[in-house]
Amino acid sequence: MTKNVLFKSLLFAASFIVLLICGGIVYALVSGSWEAFSQFGVFQFIFSSDWDPTIGNEHYGALSFIVGTLFTSFLALALCIPFSLPVSLFIGEYFKGKKIANFIGSVIDLLAGIPSIVYGLWGFYTFRGLMVDLHLSSEGFGILTSSVVLAIMIIPYATSLSAEFFKMVPNDLKEGAFSLGATQYDVIRKVSFPMTSSGVFASYILALGRALGETMAVTMLIGNTNLLPTSLTDTGNTMASIIANQFGEADGLKLSSLIAIGLLLFVITAIINLIGRFIMKKFAPTK
């Protein structure tokens, strides 16, 4: 009995560590951003798109970055899903266990191993030129460029886990459906998807999270103009990128503003997650 109790407390302790870490982060973010929020007022800071680091006239507002982050991350996820879902079906359903599935799976996993700074460099030296040649952008920087590279970066997160979940659908369930005359397509729609929807959705949330917090790659490709982007070809900036760009040299009010942006990113991620969970609850069949 005591072994069980010990074990269960270990499990609880593990979960509690997560809570502690989060608490620590929140505390650090809130205390760090106090100066900025008290100077500019919370609402003012969130909704102002003015970012002026001129000494003597400093004014900071987070709106351009908030819009930039949301724009690029959601666009990246939207670009990623039409490719990631087929691939996870390819690996997990159609060619499950076959060599070609292993090969493609390995290629995808390799992508996760490329450092984010290298994605930025590849984007800067190679992909930018491609964007200019395709007349999608004047210099190759901007929302669209960053979103595409972000999409590529998050493919492993969206794909690998989903593929695993598809693999885990019990064979006998599928065979039962087949014997009733279902096509593979039917089986995917009626058996595999419902079973794996929670996991697949969770992997997309994880992929989105990765996109929201991505720093290095975006910072090299987004153009770093601290203005509100109005179209795909515009340059802009994201929250993670401005923090990464300016943190090394920031002090005082500016540092506090950057930490405030970090806190806002934290909050926005939380809100997106809440909305995601709400959607899942609505559309998931009662298990």
- Of 236-275, which residues contact other proteins (CB under 8 A)? 239-240, 243-251, 255, 259, 262, 265-266, 269-270, 272-274
Tokens for 98? 């076959």
Helix axes 99-112, 143-167, angle to 10 degrees: 140
Using CB under 8 A as the binding criterion, the count of chain residues that bind other proteins stands at 120
Locate 228 and state its tokens. Answer: 């509100």
Closest contact distance (angstroms) between CB of 244 and other proteins is 5
Which residues make Cβ contacts (< 8 Å) with residue 174, sequence separation at least 6? 187, 191, 192
Angular region, 213: left φ>0, alpha ψ -120 to 50, beta rest: alpha
CB of 110 to other proteins, least distance (A): 6
Binding mask 81-110 for other proteins (x = CB under 8 A): -xxx-xx-xx---x-------x-x-xxxxx
Q: Closest CB to other proteins among 33 and 45? A: 33
CB of 67 to other proteins, least distance (A): 17
Q: How far is the CB of 80 from other proteins (least distance, A)?
A: 9
Length reported for the chain: 287
The pair of structure tokens assigned to 206 is 């994880």
Q: Which is nearer to other proteins, 45 or 187 (CB)?
A: 187
Tokens 């930025």 found at = 120
Per-residue x/- marks for other proteins, 153-192, CB under 8 A? --xxx--xx--xx-xx-x------------xxxx-x----
CB of 279 vs other proteins, minimal distance in Å:
14
- Residue 48 amino acid letter: S
Based on its alpha-carbon atoms, the radius of gyration of the chain, rounded to whole angstroms, reads: 22
